[in-house]
Structure 1
Amino acid sequence: MTSEKPGPPDADATRRRARFGTLPERVRVEDMVEEQPATAPDSARDAYNSDEWLVRTCL
């Protein structure tokens, strides 16, 4: 292995360190997840009467 001494920082290295020298800020899990209802509310489905089939069939 060769041991190289770091030379004086040049302008490219300074710019590179300013841009890539730190890690980006941590992103919370809450910020990565978006919750939406799977389906739109359907008022016709909620108005179901469980005895309706009996009335239609027997009368």
Structure 2
Amino acid sequence: MDIICMNGLYKLTINKEYTIIAENIMKAKQEFLQFLSTDFDRAVDKKLGDYGFDSENINR
């Protein structure tokens, strides 16, 4: 991960496929956390779906 401030914008490069550009660091953080949450839910649904688990019922 890399963080660069350029021309008043923050550019977070997560990996080769995902980059966030935001006008302040807290917005960039929120977008990054949303990305992680979505990616985690996708992995849970894919990997544990065969066992009847998904991101909606895993905490029940």
TM-score by length of 1: 0.28
Say which one has the larger Rg: 1
Larger RCO, structure (CA 8 Å, separation 6 or more): 2
